[in-house]
Chains A and B, each alone.
Chain A
Amino acid sequence: EAQVTQNPRYLITVTGKKLTVTCSQNMNHEYMSWYRQDPGLGLRQIYYSMNVEVTDKGDVPEGYKVSRKEKRNFPLILESPSPNQTSLYFCASSPWLAGYEKLFFGSGTQLSVL
């Protein structure tokens, strides 16, 4: 089944403890992206990647890192999480960066930073 898989689904951590949220897609998509969703603010893009080894900042990149060493994986890294990074995170992918394509989203990761 074609899908975007995120793990974990729920994560509770403490301030400053490094964590990684994984994202994997099995559709051979070139484009992958991370969003965070906060009440009243919609989805805001954190980072995106147009291809392997090519990443760029979105609207809210501060406090996050990403890597794209293989086409299928696009992990989101929080080196030193803070409470303001408590949010619902979504990974998305698309065949290409083109408006005639469509985005496929993962099921989300609910992160709580205490």
Chain B
Amino acid sequence: DAKTTQPNSMESNEEEPVHLPCNHSTISGTDYIHWYRQLPSQGPEYVIHGLTSNVNNRMASLAIAEDRKSSTLILHRATLRDAAVYYCILWNNNAGNMLTFGGGTRLMVKP
């Protein structure tokens, strides 16, 4: 199974950009890179996903390394509401149980 590695925690100041890294050195060609976040006392929610190219949506941007062995979730201006645990996972089309979540990165945002 392709695994991801993320820092346990990160801190950011409010209204500053945040770059959350994820390493996935054993990624396969068919693995999509997904990011989810979990706010306190809530279920995980989708943030963004991509395959090879960088992606932008209203919540964040996803920068994918050229060799796809790492990616970075970018929150352009962190708010207090962005304080959450962020999970980077690899989704393989070929097997239903290839949706493994690691420990994620706990993002703390300081006012």
Contact = CB atoms under 8 A, between A and B. Distances in A.
Interface of A: 4, 31, 33, 35, 40-45, 48, 50, 56-59, 90, 92, 97-100, 102-108
14 contacts: A35-B101, A43-B87, A48-B97, A48-B99, A92-B43, A97-B93, A99-B32, A99-B34, A99-B91, A99-B92, A99-B93, A103-B36, A103-B99, A105-B45
Looking at chain A's contact residues, the main secondary structure is strand
Contacts, number: 68
B21 interface: no
Interface of B: 30-32, 34, 36, 41-46, 49, 51, 87, 91-93, 96-97, 99-104
B24 to A, nearest CB: 13
A57 B32 CA distance: 22
Nearest to B47: A102
A56 B95 CA distance: 10
